[in-house]
Amino acid sequence: MNLRGQAREAFDQLAREHPTATKEQLFKLFQIVVESDDRVRDSLTQSIFDDMKEFDPGRASYVMDLVKCDHPEAVAAVKLLLSQMRRQ
The whole-number pLDDT of residue 83 equals 92
42 and 81 in a single domain? The answer is yes
The whole-number pLDDT of residue 2 equals 59
- Report pLDDT digits (tens) over 9-54: 777 887 888 888 888 888 887 888 788 888 888 888 888 889 999 9
- Report pLDDT digits (tens) over 5-14: 777 777 788 7
pLDDT(3) > 70? no
64 and 77 in a single domain? The answer is yes
What's the mean pLDDT in 67-85? 94
- Give the count of domains, the chain: 2
Comparing CA positions, the residue from 36, 75, 51 lying closest to residue 3 is 51
21 and 43 in a single domain? The answer is no
Q: Give the span between the Cα atoms of 77 and 71, in whole angstroms.
A: 10
1 contact partners, CB below 8 Å, separation of at least 6: 9
Domain hosting residue 43, numbered range: 38-88
19 and 5 in a single domain? The answer is yes
